[in-house]
Structure 1
Amino acid sequence: MSTWTPLESNPEVLTKYIHKLGVSPSWSVTDVIGLDDDLLGFLPRPVKAVILLFPISDAYEKHRAEEHERIKTAAEEEKYPEDLFYMRQFTHNACGTVALIHSVANNKDIEVGPGVLKNFLEKGAALSAEERGQALEQDKDFTEDHQQLAQEGQTDASAYETVIHHFIAFVNKENTLYELDGRKSYPISHGKTSDETFVQDAAKVCKEFMARDPEEVRFTVLALAAAQD
């Protein structure tokens, strides 16, 4: 298993990264300054994905294990949308890239031009979630782009031997709110949503993550949304 330098939760760096990967300049990554309705109202629209960065704590790992056992049978039998693009994460510290892939790949109206991401999505279309994760690990061009952008944050990410934070993405696919986490065995359905309520519905789930770790303050929420002029 290879190890990448972790991405920083810096909207400018992440926006530069997705543009380098081929995503249209019409889209950018922006901070979500708060999860209450009035603060969510400041987000540029449309919002296509919500990205949560959170600490991998004992409370989270306990919840993840319990959730896996609870939904295992149902998840194996559940019929996800055929074009739901989900991938496992097998590369250490690649969670930021995986979350961005999940965010873009599951929104067909986000234009992706020729480049590393388009190539990856085309090759990965017919692969399983596990095979997609393995393909990312073996993708030299993706690795190079990730490593280059990871050096542009405000902190020296390579100085941290152990990264305890993790990125995941929330998307609206066929009016269902999906949590896409490469460390989980399946996509997690959080019930019905809509274009109008997606941001609030995703924010509600983010609040649940925070409620499980009431003493923890190291949460960051970002959005993939229309670029502001």
Structure 2
Amino acid sequence: MAEQRWVPLESNPDVLNKYIHDLGAPSKWQFVDVFGLDDDLLAMVPQPVVAIMLLYPLTEKVEGSPIGDVDTGVLEKAYFIRQTIRNACGTIALVHALANNKDKIEFDDSKYFTKFLESTKTMSPEDRAGFLEKDSNMGNIHEESAQEGQTQAPSREDEVNPHFVAFIHQDGGLYELDGRKDGPIRHSDSTPETLLQDTAKVLRKFMDRDPENINFAITALVQN
């Protein structure tokens, strides 16, 4: 069977917010830009921060220097889905950010994300990926959001280098959720209050692997 491909998402709060609100997140929950990792710039980000999304380039330098270790033990508590659709990393990261904060975000049950979570909550990460491949509702919402960017959306056939991952707090730790990996990656101890600052430390390591590359974009899911 031919590989399934979606149109890549843009790392743009307007795009991401349309997406999560179409899925059923209340308007008070929004993605905002994180303009830098210095303390002064981090202090400008509204609190509480419940998830951070990073868009970064998958270069040889990056791929050759992995950071953190997979912790499959946290799968009993964390929602994790594998990525089997090309260019769907933006949706995978959004699902990770939202699903792991369902105790904080009161989703509109008339919108689709509640049904998606209910349908997949007991599945393995691989079975969730298979469900998403066949899920026209999520595919259509992704497609609509991908066309909302400030630049013309790439073709679904394009080979894109940037990759989205999400960072969350779970069970006293800071976890990176990347659908290409075998499970969540634990980076450090953390708390809900220090999630942004703890993630910033890890993001500096990401950037240090390829310091000449400036193609990084950071957004935070906050309650305004």
Secondary structure in 1 aligned to 2:183? coil
Corresponding letter in the other structure for 1:157? A
CA distance in 2, matches of 1:161, 1:111: 36
Distance 1:59 1:119 in 2: 40
For residues 128 and 14 of structure 2, what CA distance do their matches in structure 1 show?
Answer: 27
Match of 1:63, SS state, is: coil
CA distance in 2, matches of 1:71, 1:220: 23
Aligned to 1:113, which of 105, 108, 111?
108
Shift of 1:164: 0.5
- 1:171 lines up with 2:168 in the alignment: yes
SS at match of 2:138: helix
Letter in 2 for 1:184: K
User: Which piece of structure 1 moves more, 139-148 or 79-88?
Assistant: 79-88
Match of 2:152 in 1: 156
Contact (CA 8 Å) 1:81, 1:173: kept in 2 or not?
Answer: no
Instruction: Report % sequence identity.
Output: 45
Instruction: Figure out how many residues of one structure are paired with residues of the other and give that number.
Output: 219
CA distance in 2, matches of 1:79, 1:154: 40
After the TM superposition, which of the residue ranges 141-150 and 112-121 deviates more from structure 2?
112-121
Q: Which residues in structure 2 correspond to 1:1-229 (within 5 Å)?
A: 1-64=3-66, 71=69, 75=71, 78-80=72-74, 82-107=76-101, 108-114=103-109, 115-159=111-155, 161-227=158-224
- Distance in 2 between the 1:29 and 1:71 partners? 27
Structure 2 unaligned spans of 5+: none
**Aligned mates of 1:138, 1:190 — CA distance in 2:** 33
Q: What is the TM-score when the length of structure 2 is the normalising length?
A: 0.93
Structure 1 vs Structure 2 CA RMSD: 1.6
1:170·1:178 contact (CA, 8 Å) conserved in 2? yes
Go from structure 1 to structure 2 and tell me whether the alpha carbon gap of 1:50 and 1:125 turns closer, same or farther (over 3 Å shift).
same
Take 2:208 and 2:201, find their aligned partners in 1: how far apart are those partners?
10
Separation of aligned partners in 1, 2:196 and 2:158: 34
In 2: Cα distance, 1:71 partner to 1:12 partner = 33
Measured after TM superposition, the shift of residue 79 of structure 1 is 2.2
- Residues 50 and 171 in structure 1, CA contact (< 8 A), matched pair in contact too: yes
